Chain A
Amino acid sequence: MSHLTPDELIDAMEGVLPSEQQAHLSSCLECQQQLDELASVLSEAKQVSVPEPSPLFWQHFSTRVTEGIDNQSASEWPHWLRWQVLLPLGAVAMIILALMIAVPKSSRPGDAPVALAAPVAPDAPASDDNWGALVAVVGELDLETASAAGVIEPGFAEQAVVHLTREEQQELSRLLQAELTRAKS
């Protein structure tokens, strides 16, 4: 039989070696020597203790943990960044998404986003029937009106944005940037 493997030597040191390997160990001087050396090192390592800190340290330690938790909480994102910015942004994103879904890509007019930036009267002529109909419905609908009507509930838009896929988020980002660039010009 071959010599004990590292796993088996550990098992032997911990007294859980199967009987077959135990029989080998009993008759193999090389394995016995290796086992003795490992046990000796382990015994020496076990004697090295950790010095006990002073009782005063333990009193301060709990206070330090509490302070650490407080500091951690304070360094997280400010509360205002979560709602006052993300909610309107999410609402805008939802409107753009709704437009993307409602208007077929192939027939979307090139200047469609302009209609969003500057609301068009319901009877204004449009180059595409679907787009015109959509603009007629939402053209003058602002966020407050939509919220009051129950179309957009608090947190709804944010939730939707959070659940967008990576590709959808990239597309949303692209559309928002295009709108911002257009508005500036």
Chain B
Amino acid sequence: MPHDSALAITTWTLNVVRPFDSAQGKPLGELDDTALVAEAAAGSREAFDVIVERHRRTVYQVCYRFVNNHEDASDLAQDAFVRAWKGARNFKGQAALSTWLYRIAVNVCLNRLSLKSPINVPVESTEHLEDVRTEGAQQALLREERAVAVRKAIANLPEKQRATLILRTYHEMSHQEIADVLGSSVGAVKANFFHALNNLKKILGSEP
């Protein structure tokens, strides 16, 4: 009967949506970051899973920029999220969740790098086959070589300069946000950014 079918569909829908509801009665996927952190701080792993899903790519990218290889970047990103879960209660909502996650990720990366010699930072080749198809093979090779040189140059920058360059150039964070992440002043961030670019220029200028 049509009436019975409609009833069955209604019941099924309720059963599916219910487990993902937040304390506010909304599905977790519809909550903003602040509400999700509040849920996570109250112990909701499901809410934290949504946070991970939303921010995993950017956190991974920050980590990759620091270490230049997939294995370490994925380990560091995982570590950053584990720390974020542990510290969810400390998130005060004064900054955006992404800024808070960046801060954790940058600290995790800086801690890891301080244990390693900068010279040992590996630089993965990221040559894409599609580049070879669309450009001349030689051009693609030159471009890739230059990209490797830039990555290597960034990897050899002092830590604060590297962090500033990464957050400003690739994540378009404001100077104030970077200052918050690094625990420094806007003036220091600008100075670090200037010196990072200047050092890059020198390193790349001396490349053959």
With an 8 A cutoff between CB atoms, is A156 at the interface? no
Among the 9-residue stretches B14-22, B112-120, B198-206, the one with 4 or more Cβ atoms under 8 Å from chain A is B198-206
Residue of B nearest to A49 (CB): B126
Nearest Cβ in chain B — how far from A56, in angstroms? 12
Is there contact, CB below 8 Å, between B150 and A45? yes
With an 8 A cutoff between CB atoms, is A151 at the interface? no
Which chain B residues border A9 with CB–CB below 8 Å?
A: 194
Which chain B residues border A44 with CB–CB below 8 Å?
A: 146, 150, 204
Bound state CA distance, A40 and B146, in angstroms? Answer: 14
| Contact residues, A51-87 vs B (CB, 8 A) | 51, 53, 57-58, 61-62, 64-66, 68-69, 72
With an 8 A cutoff between CB atoms, is A163 at the interface? no
Q: How many residues of A contact B (CB 8 A)?
A: 29
Which chain B residues border A168 with CB–CB below 8 Å?
A: none
With an 8 A cutoff between CB atoms, is A10 at the interface? yes
Bound state CA distance, A159 and B78, in angstroms? Answer: 35
Which chain A residues border B82 with CB–CB below 8 Å?
A: 65, 68-69, 72
Nearest Cβ in chain B — how far from A14, in angstroms? 9
With an 8 A cutoff between CB atoms, is B90 at the interface? no
With an 8 A cutoff between CB atoms, is A148 at the interface? no
Which chain A residues border B85 with CB–CB below 8 Å?
A: 65, 69, 72
Among the 9-residue stretches B27-35, B52-60, B99-107, the one with 4 or more Cβ atoms under 8 Å from chain A is B52-60
Nearest Cβ in chain A — how far from B69, in angstroms? 10
The answer, among B81, B190, B191, B198, for a CB contact under 8 Å with A65, is B81
Is there contact, CB below 8 Å, between A38 and B194? yes
Residue of B nearest to A58 (CB): B56
With an 8 A cutoff between CB atoms, is A50 at the interface? yes
Is there contact, CB below 8 Å, between A45 and B154? yes
| Contact string against A for B residues 54-85, beta-carbon threshold 8 Å, 1 for contact and 0 otherwise | 00110011001100001000100111011001
With an 8 A cutoff between CB atoms, is B132 at the interface? no
Which chain A residues border B154 with CB–CB below 8 Å?
A: 45, 48
Q: Which of the listed residues B57, B61, B154, B190 has the most CB atoms from chain A within 10 Å of its own CB?
A: B190
Is there contact, CB below 8 Å, between B74 and A61? yes
Q: Which of the listed residues A41, A49, A58, A72 has the most CB atoms from chain B within 10 Å of its own CB?
A: A41
Is there contact, CB below 8 Å, between A38 and B204? no
| Contact residues, A2-45 vs B (CB, 8 A) | 6-7, 9-11, 37-38, 40-42, 44-45
Is there contact, CB below 8 Å, between B200 and A7? no
* Given known contacts A53-B60, A61-B74, A66-B49, A37 and B190 CB-to-CB distance under 8 angstroms: no
Which chain A residues border B194 with CB–CB below 8 Å?
A: 6-7, 9-10, 38
With an 8 A cutoff between CB atoms, is B45 at the interface? yes
With an 8 A cutoff between CB atoms, is B187 at the interface? yes
The answer, among B45, B60, B81, B201, for a CB contact under 8 Å with A38, is B201
The answer, among A38, A58, A65, A68, for a CB contact under 8 Å with B197, is A38
* Given known contacts A44-B150, A45-B150, A65-B52, A53 and B126 CB-to-CB distance under 8 angstroms: no
Of the A-B pairs whose beta carbons lie under 8 Å apart in the complex, a sample of 10, sorted by A's number, is: A6-B190, A7-B190, A41-B204, A44-B204, A46-B170, A48-B154, A53-B74, A62-B49, A65-B85, A68-B78
With A45-B200, A62-B56 known, 10 other A-B pairs at CB within 8 A are: A7-B194, A10-B190, A44-B204, A45-B197, A65-B78, A65-B81, A65-B82, A68-B81, A69-B48, A69-B86
Which A-B residue pairs are the 10 nearest by beta carbons?
A6-B194, A68-B82, A51-B126, A7-B190, A65-B81, A41-B201, A10-B190, A50-B64, A50-B61, A38-B197
